[in-house]
Structure 1
């Protein structure tokens, strides 16, 4: 039996990067998968094709997670299509790098709306559906190593990722009585759309690689296994936890 056989998994921000890897990983583990995406129609369709190639049902629903109504619509359409929601992977996020002293107000607001409030309302909508269903479920937030450490050009971003980590801790308490488990994954430096321009500098990339005990930057697929584990019944007694997926970067202070 596959780890997620019979489950319906929802993933936000899944047209590329970690979200796409999580969606495809869930399908390979036996789940039907509904993805949210913001604007990349072709990439979203390709993600659904990969889900279907794994032998599962897939559906893409376009929407901006910064709008609270997007969360309600996402869950409603998922239930209409596949009958239920077992897992919500809140992944959608942005990080427009910028210095602190001249940070534009709109950049801060947009980052908070997408990363933190988007995650909040997606998890809330999914949790309400899970409570109505009455058989529990799992919420997984894609936080970041940036929830634990600072970044000079990420003063708007790191608080949102710390907020998602904290949200999972609090919802673990709020939803435990409903059998809903709430956990976060904290990726380290993963090669995605968010940082591809920043890491185009070869010297910076080699510096970052040298700081990681496993000797390489992460790939989006490195998150698929940990997310599938937390979504599965193998993690039946895991809630309120945060799993670092960073190649050992966080512990490498010296």
Structure 2
């Protein structure tokens, strides 16, 4: 799970642990994310300890800290390639196989269309699309060699399909994820490897809760037929479903999880 130290990625890790998964937890490796990962691992240990025939000593999880948000484009791509290689190697050496991957890590900067620079566009594209593309290549190569299929779920966004005033650059990267997913589902289906995306609407996290306070929150909630903003858990459960055998005949799909808000905009 990339970007697993907070928000949606963190909750995907929690829900995966509840289902008994061995986990490779990626974070950017700074002091804050490292502390967040340690707190998360302690929580996951508690989850594993409550499961049948399990104990804290049997918890199987590893973390890897590597920042792919470098300003320098060359370093950014090198770090992304290095991250992909290290994740594959760590997973194989620790667990023997790779069965699923969640492409969750991304950046999102609000910018007017005319103000987006080439550097900002490249950075969003490298992190939000190129890194997941390379991850998919490396992971599926391993899955093909293993011969038992697998599942890839990438986090997209409703902005990819419905647009957003200050997110033209971000929406483009997420639309690229949708296109990649559809084509990968077709090309990798012969190996039993499934590709799907989950597109969240407005999800409240610790990072954005202050921006979603007061009148702005009330206005956004009023547009959601279900009457509330989403939570990370609202995304985590569908992601884990798509990774599981319960979704074994679902591939190439984009699951919109937004409380029907985008339907209400039309």
TM above 0.5, one fold?
A: yes
1:123-202 to structure 2, matched below 5 A, reads 123-192=136-205, 195-196=208-209, 198-200=211-213, 202=214
Name the counterpart of 2:52.
none
| Correspondent of 2:18 among 16, 28, 39 | 28
CA distance in 1, matches of 2:127, 2:220: 27
Whether 1:209 aligns to 2:202 is no
Question: What does the per-residue CA deviation read over 1:126-151, in whole Å, with 9 as the maximum and x for residues that have no partner?
Answer: 11111111100000001111111111
More helix by share: 2
Q: How many Å apart are 1:123 and its aligned residue?
A: 1.5
CA distance in 1, matches of 2:159, 2:206: 17
TM-score, reference length from structure 1: 0.91
The 8 Å contact of residues 94 and 194 in structure 1, kept in 2 or not, is answered as no
Whether 1:59 aligns to 2:72 is no
Q: How many Å apart are 1:105 and its aligned residue?
A: 2.7
Q: How many Å apart are 1:161 and its aligned residue?
A: 0.8
1:66-77 to structure 2, matched below 5 A, reads 66=76, 67-77=80-90
CA distance in 2, matches of 1:78, 1:134: 16
Structure 1: gaps (5+ residues): 1-10
| Correspondent of 2:129 among 116, 134, 137 | 116
Name the counterpart of 2:256.
244
Q: How many Å apart are 1:152 and its aligned residue?
A: 1.3
CA distance in 2, matches of 1:98, 1:195: 16
CA distance in 1, matches of 2:139, 2:210: 33
Q: How many Å apart are 1:69 and its aligned residue?
A: 2.2
Whether 1:43 aligns to 2:36 is yes
Q: Which has the larger radius of gyration?
A: 2
How many positions carry a matched residue from both structures? 243
Q: How many Å apart are 1:197 and its aligned residue?
A: 5.3
Name the counterpart of 2:6.
16
Name the counterpart of 1:5.
none
Partner-residue secondary structure (3-state), 1:185: strand
More displaced 10-residue stretch of structure 1: 184-193 or 56-65: 56-65
Structure 2: gaps (5+ residues): 49-58, 69-75
CA distance in 1, matches of 2:191, 2:45: 31
More displaced 10-residue stretch of structure 1: 146-155 or 55-64: 55-64
1:69-108 to structure 2, matched below 5 A, reads 69-108=82-121
Q: How many Å apart are 1:196 and its aligned residue?
A: 4.0
The 8 Å contact of residues 33 and 51 in structure 1, kept in 2 or not, is answered as no
CA distance in 2, matches of 1:170, 1:223: 23
The 8 Å contact of residues 22 and 228 in structure 1, kept in 2 or not, is answered as yes
| Correspondent of 1:221 among 203, 211, 233 | 233
Question: What does the per-residue CA deviation read over 1:79-114, in whole Å, with 9 as the maximum and x for residues that have no partner?
Answer: 111111100010001101111212233221111111
